[in-house]
Structure 1
Amino acid sequence: MSRKLKTYQTSLGFYDLAIAAPSMKAALEAWGAGSNLFHQGVAKETEDPDVVAATMAKPGVVLKRPAGSSGRFAEQAGMPDLDDDSSGAKRRRRLEPKRKAAPEISAEDKRKAAVEFEREQKRREAERRRQEAAREKERARREELIVKAQAALEAGQRQYEERREALDAERFDLEKRIEAEETRWESERRKLNETLRQSRD
């Protein structure tokens, strides 16, 4: 059975946000709030007829308007006008449309809005699952790359150590041969010098 929707409103960053949701918890989840904005006093349930009408027309959808403005809530909202010029502020106040009385929302419309909210919530949950699956797939791909890179590094290290060991063995053998050659030449040089000395005598 669909739960009765209420309209909640908060202000985050550059925007005021509003949503028709069955509970404060559902509103916080839809806003993506990391803390309880209601306990902090920056979110509230509202009965403003214009805000209620806008949110009930799109239940479960986060509506925005520039922070601090009194314009209509919509899915897409422009950035707030940061012009501090007082004449500009007067001009903006003059150009604001007059508020109309919000239409009375029937029980049938409220029921339909609750059904729409549940549909939007399911769509948002499916999107969250899809994004989580994509993140999980990306994590698995990275882990696989890390495992492959680690295996390649370890194989390269083993190959280096084997080659170094073989080269060290070759160097040891070469040093022994050089030492033997030096010993042989020293002996031969002494004999040749002796022969040369005797030839001179």
Structure 2
Amino acid sequence: MARKLKTYQTSLGFFDQAIAAPSMKAALEAWGADSNLFHQGAAKESHDPEVVAATMAKPGVVLRRPVGTDRPFSEHAELPTDLGGRRTSEGHPKELKDEKRSSRPVDKAAERKAALAYEREQRRRELERAKEEAARQKARKRGQQMVDEAQAALDKAEQEHAKRAAAIQAEVETLEKKSQTEEARWDKEKERLEAALRRARG
């Protein structure tokens, strides 16, 4: 059974934000808040008929309006042009006035419709998040595959290099032995020839 929705409102950055959600926790999650704005007094349940009507028309969607204004809430609000905020005749910012509770009778059918719409929106968000996570996993897998292929190519090249270096080293050692043999032969030959030369000069 769909949970009954309530309208919650806060001010974050340049915008007032409102949402129809089943709980304060759900509202905080939708706002992306990393602390409990309700305990801090920075968020509250709203009973303003216009705000309630706007959020119930799009349950689960964060609606915004420039902070300090009484413009209607919408999904794509423009930045405020007057950051000082509009003031009431009492000199207090508009958003800090006590909100009047709606005197309209509760429309149970509309409540149920809004709650179901909220659940649909939540499912849509969850599906979006699942698609994004699947795309991230696919990208990670593709990245890992590229790393694995590059590592395999490097390993193969290193093995080939080691094989060639070993062959060259073997050739060097063979030549070194030939060189030593030739030096020994030449030493003997030179000694013999020099002895013959000395005898000839004798």
TM-score normalised to the size of structure 1? 0.78
The CA distance in 2 between the partners of 1:16 and 1:160, in whole Å, is 66
Q: Which amino acid aligns with 1:52?
A: V
Q: Which amino acid in the other structure matches residue 112 of structure 1?
A: K
Aligned residue for 2:65, secondary structure, equals: strand
Shift of 1:89: 7.8
Distance, in Å, in 2 between the alignment partners of 1:198 and 1:168 is 45
SS of residue paired to 1:19: strand
Say which SS state the counterpart of residue 154 (structure 2) adopts: helix
Query: Does residue 178 in structure 1 map to residue 175 in structure 2?
Result: no
Q: Is the 8 Å Cα contact of residues 53 and 103 (structure 1) preserved in structure 2?
A: no
- Aligned-pair CA distance for 1:63: 0.7
Amino acid at match of 1:11: S
CA distance in 1, matches of 2:19, 2:83: 28
For residues 36 and 18 of structure 1, the distance between their equivalents in structure 2, rounded to whole angstroms, comes to 15
Deviation at 1:175, TM superposition (A): 1.2
SS in 2 for 1:9: strand
Q: Find out whether 1:114 has 2:110 as its counterpart.
A: no
- 2:75 is the alignment partner of 1:75: yes
* Alignment of 1:164 onto 2:165: yes
Contact 2:28 2:36 in 1 (8 A): yes
Shift of residue 82, structure 1, vs aligned partner: 6.5
Residues 68-107 of structure 1, C-alpha deviations (whole Å, 9 max, x = no match):
43322111012233677xxx989xxxxxxxxxxx894633
Q: 1:166 to 1:12 in 2, by over 3 A?
A: farther
Distance 1:69 1:197 in 2: 120
Q: What is the percent sequence identity of the aligned residues?
A: 56
Distance 1:198 1:66, change over 3 A: farther
For 1:103 and 1:146, how far apart are their aligned partners in 2? 65
* Residue 23 of structure 1 pairs with residue 20 of structure 2: no
Q: Which residue of 2 aligns with 1:64?
A: 64
Distance (whole Å) between structure 2 residues aligned to residue 8 and residue 51 of structure 1 = 9
In the other structure, the counterpart of 2:6 is 6
Paired residue secondary structure (1:7): strand
Give the whole-Å Cα distance in 2 for the aligned partners of 1:153 and 1:200: 68
Per-residue CA distance 1:39-92 (angstroms, 9 max, x = gap): 3433221112222121112111111123343322111012233677xxx989xx
Describe the superposition over 1:149-190 as per-residue Cα deviations: whole angstroms up to 9, x where unpaired: 333333333333332222222222221111112222222222
Alignment of 1:109-148 (within 5 A): 109-148=110-149
Question: Which amino acid in the other structure matches residue 189 of structure 1?
Answer: K
Matches of 1:146 and 1:35, distance apart in 2:
39
Whether the 8 Å contact between 1:19 and 1:60 is mirrored in structure 2 is yes
Residues paired across the two proteins, number: 190
What secondary structure, in the 3-state scheme, does the structure 1 residue paired with 2:147 have? Answer: helix
Gaps of 5+ in 2: 88-101
